[in-house]
Every structure is written in C-alpha cells, then in structure tokens.
Amino acid sequence: MKRTIKIDLRLNKDEAAYLNDMVDRSGLSREAFLRALIKDKPIKERPSADFFETLKVLRQIGNNLNQIAMKANSIGFIDALEYKRNVKWLQSVIGGLMEVMYR
C-alpha cells in the first residue's frame, strides 16, 4: 500500500524525548512505531543482545546433540530415552524464550 498522506506533528522537547526513547526501546522505525500505535497493536521492547546470544547458544547445543546422536547411532551406542528427554527439554527452553519474546 502506497502511503501518500503526510501528517505534521509538533512536540515539545519532553514529548519528543519520550517518543524517541520509546521508539529506540521498541527497535522499530518512528513511522512503524506510530503506525502500530494508531492500529492499537501491542508494542514490545526489543529483547537485549544477551537474549539473542543465549538463543544462539541453545541452538548450537541442539545441533551438537544431533551430531552426537548421529555418531552414537552409527556405532550402536545411544540411550534413546535419555537423548529424547534432553532434546525435549532443550526445545521447551527455546520455545519458552521465543514465547517471551513474541508474546
């Protein structure tokens, strides 16, 4: 949808500072932030860099589990129930983090 209507808005310094702070915390552009407000969409703070780093590490652990399972399976040595329990736990942790982020 092409946006052709421009709206000018005047703010005082405090209002502008507050708006800029909220925009920065959301991770959205100012225009996207204001459109979300107009449409009454929930606006959340952008997760910290630590959140994304933790998610990355958990995914790497998941990849390592898969590699270990493939090797263990190829040599006929794997505790399938324990492996499945660990994978299920890891998936629930990642799912929980994603739910917190996108709830």
Q: Using one digit for the tens of pLDDT, what is the confidence trace for 62-103? A: 888 888 888 887 887 777 788 888 888 888 888 888 887 766
Span between the terminal Cα atoms of the chain, in Å: 27
Q: What tens digit of pLDDT does each residue of 44-73 get?
A: 888 888 888 888 888 888 888 888 888 887
Domain boundaries, the chain: 1-46, 49-102
CB-CB neighbours of 25 under 10 Å: 13
Q: Distance (Å, rounded) from C-alpha 85 to C-alpha 73?
A: 16
Closest among 86, 89, 98, 88 to 54, alpha carbons compared: 98
Q: What is the pTM of this model?
A: 0.54
Q: Distance (Å, rounded) from C-alpha 42 to C-alpha 103?
A: 10
